[in-house]
Structure 1
Amino acid sequence: MTIPVKKYDVKKGLEKYMPSLLRLIGNQNISWTSINSGLLNHLQKVRSELKESGESEIIKETTFYSFLVGNTQGKKETAPMFDFFETIFSELNERLSDKELVHLHKMVKFVLSNFDYRYLNFIGELATLNAYKSTGKYSLLNIEEKIYSKKGVRADLFMRRVSDKREFLVEIVNIHLENRNLNDSSKIKHHIESKLKLKIDKTFFESPKREIYIQPVVWIESLEQIQIISELYRKKKIAMDNVYVPMCYMTYQLSNGDYEHRFEYVTTILEEEQKKGNWISRMLHGISIKKR
């Protein structure tokens, strides 16, 4: 007897559990058939791996869908980051004009079509844009803008400063410290610098069309890592031309059970740390998959 293959409708799930993400897409074209097929293939691979392991459960790295499904099942461990995603998407809908929103489907597509930890890189891009827009100082002109006339290199964000109309490009580099057990200043410094130098080598050539800057986003697993990175930048032990101070993410759970999310520069994110509730100490980067 052949067991019918279960079909998935990602758009329908988002309509019910995360409509703010769909509003970012708006009327722009996105291949839901391709996304549904990608999710199905991913889940089939996970089930095959679980079966071949002979174990009752295995640990797999989280994807965007881990948090979407976790929310539908009421899992406490996925709730903080699901709320973080929902907050970013809702705030972007409020802060971006209709003219700016038409570009967002390009980023959203990558969030939905990456079935490993790399989805987080595109969350980092959306969160960075949201942080810039929160200042009221910048407008978004384009996503994936060409940097050079004769090269295929592109920058994540094409921005304009409101005050003087100055246009510039921002390339975002996501640096992952979570699950690496890096709590030594010299090792963290080396890791960050090596990632930045690699990005610089791939991004900077002669005669760019506009000024270009690199915005690091560091995904951390402990307060100690934030403190170390903050100290490195405050003392200028990491300093590179055209590279901004890194941004990072952390979430507090307040006494009433609500979450307060912070995504900002590593040198300022801990300024009010003592006034908050319990910091949710670790990002969820692995999730248990069990036999049914």
Structure 2
Amino acid sequence: MNLVKYNLLNYIPELINFIGEEKFPWDDVEKKFNRKINQRVSKKNGDSIVIEASIFDQIISIKKGDSDYIGMIDFYNKLFYQLKLLLNQEEKKLILRTIKNLLVSFDSKYLNYLGELSALYQLKRTNNFILLEVEKNLPNGKSIDFDMTIQDPKMRVLIEVINIQINPKKVENNANSIRRFINGRLEKKITDKKKNLIDNWNIHLVPVIWGGNEQLEIYHEYFKTNSPDLPLSYVPLAFLTYYDQNGNYFPKFGSISTLFDS
């Protein structure tokens, strides 16, 4: 069996179950993985290899006995399990390319694709969105993550997921600073997507914030009473792993405004 597929089957079996019998470029994913490993080996310093963030790095760390990523791996399994239940067959086929991009991103950019899939899950679980197209091309040469239909009220919408990785050194527990930062990122994204568009396209922005628990809690407190100022922008989503006194982990993904609520 393809080595990449074998490892995913052992650690993220729901991803394999989601793909099922669909045609998927497993050999291409493994080839890119091996190429990346060889690049790291050629650049290693002494006996150590610099570890970057990716799904496979997390699996390797768990194999070595590191429990830091167990919650994240559990989240992947739950995400693909839920997507399998929520998406119809045509919708499943539409996101196979996103899954491939997730698997061949061997650095922190994998969070962009994970954010897209996680945001899609949040939309689909409302039972009000139908996925029509992924990476919808616009007349200006730009693309939008999801072309969707809202069933009630009946309307066509374009959904763009904007992933925001928080720099812990720059997070200020200050409402004005948070407002400026979030609004700035959203305005930059929508300006870029609408550049040179003649018609007023109905583009909705779904922010996904990635960061440590301490930083996320600051944003949680802000968004409990605030929303993005930009029209058609959603309250950000975020991922968090809880640990209880016994060391048990509880991964959670959802609106940052309720993320720390019990």
Unpaired runs of 5+ in structure 2? none
Aligned residues: 259
Q: Is the 8 A contact 2:71 2:249 kept in 1?
A: yes
Q: 1:271 to 1:77 in 2, by over 3 A?
A: closer
What one-letter code is carried by the residue in structure 2 that aligns with 1:215?
A: V
Q: 1:214 to 1:233 in 2, by over 3 A?
A: farther
Question: Where do residues 92-171 of structure 1 align in structure 2 (5 Å cutoff)?
Answer: 92-146=83-137, 148=138, 150-171=139-160
For 1:67, which of 54, 58, 71 is the aligned residue? 58
Is residue 19 from structure 1 mapped to residue 13 from structure 2 by the alignment? yes
> 1:195: how far off?
2.2
Which structure would you say has the larger Rg? 1
> 1:84: how far off?
1.2
Q: 1:192 to 1:72 in 2, by over 3 A?
A: same
Q: Is the 8 A contact 1:213 1:242 kept in 2?
A: yes
Provide TM-score, normalisation by structure 2.
0.86
> 1:258: how far off?
4.2
What one-letter code is carried by the residue in structure 2 that aligns with 1:175?
A: I
Q: Which position in structure 2 is the counterpart of 1:270? A: 260
What one-letter code is carried by the residue in structure 1 that aligns with 2:38?
A: Q
Q: 1:136 to 1:162 in 2, by over 3 A?
A: same
Q: Which position in structure 2 is the counterpart of 1:33? A: 27
Q: Is the 8 A contact 2:51 2:57 kept in 1?
A: no
Q: Is the 8 A contact 1:183 1:225 kept in 2?
A: no
For 2:238, which of 226, 240, 248 is the aligned residue? 248
Provide TM-score, normalisation by structure 1.
0.78
Q: 1:193 to 1:19 in 2, by over 3 A?
A: same
Poorly superposed stretches of 4+, deviation over 6 Å: none
> 1:78: how far off?
1.7
CA distance, structure 2, for counterparts of residue 206 and residue 268 of structure 1: 38
CA distance, structure 2, for counterparts of residue 253 and residue 229 of structure 1: 18
Q: Which position in structure 1 is the counterpart of 2:71? A: 80
